Amino acid sequence: MNEQGIPMAGKLSEPKIITDLDQKVVCLLPTGFYFSDERWDMIWEQYDKKGDTLGMADLKELFPDEATVQNAAIDTGEKFDRCR
């Protein structure tokens, strides 16, 4: 929420890594994902239920209407190879 108490929402301009207090990855959200307070709460509820990092299959189930999750690119290893 911003200073006026209005929920912040919008499409991510870059991937976002959400981590817990111990810096364990909760999930990775892709560029273009529509992020809002409601979705933030949904992610944390699912993480608490699962007790582990949420993968793309978890995000597909949580957000069936989100094209960036439903049609995610397949990592062939080439795209992210330079980051390894």
Token pair for 84: 């390894």
From 31, 20, 16, select the one nearest 53 (Cα to Cα).
20
**CA separation for the pair 4, 14 (Å, rounded):** 25
End-to-end Cα, the chain, rounded Å: 35
pLDDT digits (tens, 9 = 90+) for 12-67: 888 889 999 899 999 999 888 998 889 999 999 999 999 999 998 999 999 999 98
Domain spans, the chain: 15-24+41-71
This prediction's pTM: 0.73
What is the model's pLDDT at position 69?
87
